[in-house]
Each structure stands twice: as structure tokens, then as C-alpha cells.
């Protein structure tokens, strides 16, 4: 095992404003470096944030675009490893939620999130890689948001990695009518968001860096007359391989960085993998929204993001 000082970033993104968010990411990475971090995790969608915003259809960057260039420059300048995901439009014209892992040597690996979550289906398609990235002395496992909820992610990474680098943009359940019912649903949703990140280490047998978004979230709701008015759940944290949370930041503390010394290296996982598809119960409302927004999102993607996309892909 190798001891390493690690950081996980909690970011408040400006919706779909790539330049503004790159500036925020750079500032927070510099903060992490000042705290002595050698490995730094940014959240998913660190260039844009995420919501059902039509502007996201035009916010994807090329694989070698300015976000990749920024990560490479930061990694080279400070001799650190940085990971985070963003919308990337590939040569086949499809957009993917791509987690890039960058060192001073450049991009050492990429993982495309396997299944878009809910309204995310409107803006990208899923990937098929295993998320295992060779980064010199370390083997890193990349996983993004609701990949932390699925048994197939654990089966890809379990016992194969020395460090998991993850990030989320997990949104709350809004306070619609009847208020007490939706408040109870949100209490469970927030607990699931925290539990999914904190317990992931026990399933894969490696420490976890989990970066996150915080702050308010407002957008349209697909196929509904209601608007969404909620927030991101936050939950940037660093977790030891046995599941102990070494450092964390909840949504109430907003933007910032958590830092801890981590013993990297694979260990025997202490949690058994459930037999089903999900590691944690979603609840009835998220399950229903998962299906209807998946149907809507695929149609939206074909019309507005990549008209050449076909269902056969």
C-alpha cells in the first residue's frame, strides 16, 4: 500500500457556462494543491453542471478541447493526478459523459458513464468500458454518480483497483405538494446519496475519492408543466477501503475541498454484492422518473443533440 494525500472537490457550477466553470475548477484545484494534495477528484459535469437545460445540447467539448488542456496543464504544473467527467463529443458525433484521468504525462485513461440518469438521457449516450485505468503505480477505478448505485459497476471494479475516483451531480427531490410526503422522500434520497458514496469502498475493496456538486438547481421538467426547483446533494468525501469516512463536506457547507491522507491499495472487499441490479433501493418516485425521463431523453437526444443517432447504437 502507498500513502497518498488526496482531495475531493465540491463545486457550485454556473449552468452550461464552460469558461466560468473551468475557472472555478482551476481555482479549487489550486486550493487542493496548496493543501498538499497529490491526487484530486473533480465531480462529473465539472464543465457545465447538470440539469434539464437546453444549453447543454451545445456545451460538449472535443476530447482534446480546452477542459482537457486545463487538466493537463494543472497536472504538469503541480505533478499531480486529476480526474473528473465532462460532456465530450467524439468523432462519431455522439456525446458521452467521459471521466478523464490525467497525470503529468497527459491523459492516462478515460471512462464513459454506462447509463445516463433520468434527464441526462437528453444530452449523452452510455459507454461500455470497465472503468479500470492503469495510472503508473496505481490502478484507478472510475465511476460516475449512479454508477455507485449499480452492482454491475462493483463487478467491473471489485478487487481490481487500488483507488476509486468518483464524482456526482445528484439532485434533490423538490418540495411539491403534498409537502410532508415529498419531504420524507427527499430525506431518504439524501441519505441514499450519502450512503452510495460512503459504502462504495466496502464493495470494491479500495479507498474512494468522491467529488460532488452543491448549490441550487432550477430547470424545466421533461413532459411536465411543473418546473424543478431543488438543489444538489453535495457529499464530497474521502473514504478508506474499510468504509470509514476520512473527510467529508455536505451540501450545507457549499463549495470547497476536502483533503485526507489515504492508504491506497486493493483489499478484500468487506461487503457482499447484492444479487439484483441495484446496490441501494431507489424508491418508487425515482424509479418512475428513471423510466419516463429515459424515454423522453432518447427522443430529445435524437432531435437536438445528435440527429444522426440511431437506436441500433
Residue 312 lies in a domain: no
In a domain? residue 99: yes
Q: Is 191 inside a domain boundary?
A: yes
Residue 309's pLDDT is what?
A: 56
Structural domain of residue 230, as residue ranges?
2-305
What pLDDT shows up at residue 2?
Answer: 87
Indicate which CATH number applies to the domain containing 298. Answer: 3.60.110.10
Residues of the chain with pLDDT below 70 are 309-313
pLDDT, position 311:
44
Q: How many domains does the chain contain in total?
A: 1
31 located within any domain: yes
3-state secondary structure the chain: CEEEEEEEEEECCCCCCHHHHHHHHHHHHHHHHHCCCCEEECCCCCCCCCCCCHHHHHCCECCCCHHHHHHHHHHHHHCCEEEEEEEEECCCCCEEEEEEEEECCEEEEEEECCCCCHHHHHCCECCCCCCEEEECCEEEEEEEHHHHHEHHHHHHHCCCCCEEEEEECCECCCCCCCHHHHHHHHHHHHHHHHHHHHHHHHHHCCCEEEEEECCEEEEECCCCCCEEEEEECEEEEEECCCCCEEEEEEHHHCCEEEEEEEEECCCCCCCCCCCCCECCCCCHHHHHHHHHHHHHHHHHHHHHHCCCCCCCC
Q: Is 72 a member of any domain? A: yes
Whether 313 maps to a domain, the answer reads no
Amino acid at each position: 500500500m502507498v500513502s497518498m494525500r488526496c482531495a475531493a472537490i465540491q463545486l457550485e457550477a454556473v449552468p452550461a457556462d464552460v469558461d466560468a466553470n473551468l475557472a472555478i475548477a482551476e481555482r479549487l484545484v489550486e486550493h487542493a494543491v496548496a493543501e498538499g494534495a497529490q491526487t484530486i477528484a473533480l465531480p462529473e459535469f465539472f464543465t457545465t453542471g447538470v440539469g434539464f437545460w437546453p444549453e447543454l445540447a451545445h456545451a460538449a467539448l472535443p476530447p482534446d478541447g480546452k477542459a482537457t488542456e486545463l487538466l493537463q496543464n494543472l497536472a504538469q504544473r503541480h505533478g499531480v493526478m486529476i480526474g473528473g467527467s465532462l460532456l465530450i463529443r467524439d468523432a462519431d458525433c455522439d456525446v458521452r459523459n467521459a471521466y478523464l484521468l490525467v497525470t503529468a504525462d497527459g491523459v492516462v485513461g478515460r471512462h464513459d458513464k454506462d447509463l445516463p440518469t433520468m434527464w441526462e438521457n437528453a444530452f449523452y449516450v452510455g459507454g461500455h468500458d470497465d472503468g479500470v485505468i492503469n495510472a503508473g503505480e496505481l490502478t484507478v477505478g472510475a465511476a460516475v454518480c449512479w454508477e455507485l448505485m449499480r452492482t454491475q459497476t462493483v463487478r467491473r471494479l471489485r478487487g481490481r483497483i487500488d483507488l476509486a475516483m468518483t464524482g456526482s451531480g445528484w439532485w434533490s427531490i423538490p418540495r411539491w405538494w403534498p409537502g410532508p410526503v415529498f419531504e420524507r422522500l427527499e430525506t431518504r434520497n439524501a441519505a441514499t446519496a450519502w450512503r452510495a458514496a460512503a459504502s462504495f469502498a466496502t464493495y470494491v475493496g479500495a479507498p474512494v475519492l468522491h467529488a460532488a456538486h452543491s448549490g441550487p438547481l432550477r430547470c424545466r421538467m421533461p413532459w411536465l408543466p411543473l418546473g424543478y426547483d431543488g438543489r444538489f446533494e453535495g457529499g464530497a468525501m474521502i473514504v478508506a477501503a474499510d468504509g470509514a469516512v476520512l473527510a467529508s463536506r455536505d451540501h450545507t457547507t457549499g463549495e470547497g475541498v476536502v483533503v485526507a491522507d489515504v492508504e491506497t491499495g486493493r483489499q478484500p472487499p468487506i461487503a457482499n454484492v447484492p444479487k439484483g441490479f441495484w446496490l441501494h433501493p431507489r424508491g418508487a418516485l425515482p424509479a418512475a422518473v428513471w423510466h419516463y425521463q429515459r424515454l423522453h431523453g432518447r427522443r430529445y437526444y435524437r432531435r437536438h443533440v445528435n440527429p444522426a443517432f440511431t437506436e441500433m447504437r
